């Protein structure tokens, strides 16, 4: 089993409900155990004129190979109405493999650690809720250092519901 962290985001069709449905779907994946889910956060969209996003991170323990897990995540996105019309466009659901154990993955379809992790407060802060203290990424970067360099700006931690 490897510990895997999944970044989740939505800004369409009741985003909090989209994330709750995604968590339920993650818990049903074969060879996988849902270990935890961060609080939900709201963040500004990367592009102007879009609704705010609701984001969270889920922790999984799984024996699924990386590309098989990616296929399963994309199937969940599709089941929840994801349409890939424009890069960084609004979406019902976005599921990204942020970290996959201690692996560095550089495949055409998958880059791990996630390639913009250091600039994404909406991933780093939820990840920090679940990751062990002093977590060092497979590429050598320390989560604590990434957090210190990425201010909690434009981000709002939502109360549990």
Residue 94 catalytic? yes
The catalytically annotated residue of 3, 14, 20, 91 is 91
DSSP3 helix / strand / coil % (the chain, rounded to 5): 30, 30, 45
Alpha helices, H only, the chain: 15-27, 66-79, 121-130, 143-148
Which DSSP category does 52 fall into?
A: P
Cα dihedral 109, 116, 143, 54 in deg (nearest 10): -90
Which of 118, 137, 124 is closest to 43 using CA atoms?
Answer: 124
Catalytic one of 82, 103, 120, 141: 82
Give the pairing of strands 105-107 and 32-37: unpaired
Of the residues 14, 24, 87, 96, only one is catalytic, namely 96
Catalytic residue list contains 3 = no
The maximal CA–CA distance of the chain, rounded, in angstroms, is 41
Instruction: Tell me which of 87, 94, 102, 139 is the catalytic residue.
Output: 94
The reply to whether 120 belongs to the active site is no
Please identify every residue annotated as catalytic.
82, 91, 94, 96
């Amino acid at each position: 089993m490897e510990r895997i962290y999944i970044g989740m985001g939505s800004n369409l069709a009741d985003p909090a409900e989209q994330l709750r449905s995604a968590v339920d779907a993650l818990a049903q994946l074969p060879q996988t155990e849902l270990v935890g889910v961060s609080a939900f956060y709201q963040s500004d969209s990367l592009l102007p004129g879009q609704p705010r996003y609701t984001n969270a991170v889920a922790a999984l323990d799984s024996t699924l190979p990386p590309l098989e897990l990616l296929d399963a995540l994309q199937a969940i996105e599709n089941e929840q109405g994801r349409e890939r019309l424009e890069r960084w466009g609004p979406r019902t659901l976005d599921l990204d493999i942020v970290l996959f154990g201690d692996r560095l993955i550089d495949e055409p379809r998958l880059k791990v650690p996630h390639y913009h992790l250091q600039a994404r407060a909406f991933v780093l802060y939820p990840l920090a809720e679940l990751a062990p203290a002093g977590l060092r990424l497979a590429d050598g970067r320390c989560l604590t250092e990434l957090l210190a360099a990425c201010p909690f700006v434009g981000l709002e931690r939502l109360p549990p519901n």
